[in-house]
Structure 1
Amino acid sequence: MIRLRIQLTHWPRRALILTDTPRPACRMCDGEGGANRDYGDPETGEYAGTDWEPCTCWDENRRYVLLPLPRRPRWLRRRDTGRDPWAPGGYSDEPPF
């Protein structure tokens, strides 16, 4: 059984997609979708990293594009300058009320 949810993706293009989710009552992963496995260096025994092992209760690569979203025109994109455009000179010393 597929448990779908809607997500927004930005790669390779902005789109709304349907994606599969892990089975909530799975006994192998407890609804997490997989498990982290730590591994060490065979020579020193020190920590070397973590591997993600996905569970068989879901397919993390199963995705269906619902709606490709258009790109926003350049003049509508946000420009964060870090200052208040309504303040005199761009800065204000008045407390906000």
Structure 2
Amino acid sequence: MSPHFLPRLRLQVRNWPRRALILTDTPRPDCPECEGEGAIGYDYGDPETGEYIDTEWEPCTCWDETRRWVLLPLPRRPRRTPPGYSTEPPF
């Protein structure tokens, strides 16, 4: 298998919908199309004034953003009561 088609994996912590440790693919750093960004940006502007409005991003073929695997669900962090705060009613 060519090294250009092997996945470039990294670990990430996902927070939604539940905290988990995931293994995900990353863009190819030597990609000539996106230069390692994972997407190609196209600037566009107002047709009348020509002023910049925004950039649209098209995903590059060197990276599959949906390629990810949940390795380990992580426990929720316990909520801490701020110091000096009471949970007792005021009456």
Normalization by structure 2: what TM-score?
0.73
* Cα RMSD, aligned residues only: 2.2
Q: Residue 57 of structure 1 corresponds to which residue in structure 2? A: 62
Letter paired with 1:39: Y
Deviations 1:42-62 (A, max 9, x none): 233222211112210001122
- Give the whole-Å Cα distance in 1 for the aligned partners of 2:77 and 2:27: 33
- Give the whole-Å Cα distance in 2 for the aligned partners of 1:17 and 1:64: 5
Q: Residue 19 of structure 1 corresponds to which residue in structure 2? A: 24
Shift of residue 63 of structure 1?
1.4
Answering whether residue 32 of structure 2 is matched by residue 38 of structure 1, we say no
Deviations 1:51-97 (A, max 9, x none): 1122100011221111111112223x8x59xxxxxxxxxxxxxxxxx
Structure 1: 4+ residue segments shifted above 4 A: none
Structure number with larger C-alpha Rg: 1
Percent identity of equivalent pairs: 71
The aligned length equals: 79
Q: Residue 88 of structure 1 corresponds to which residue in structure 2? A: none
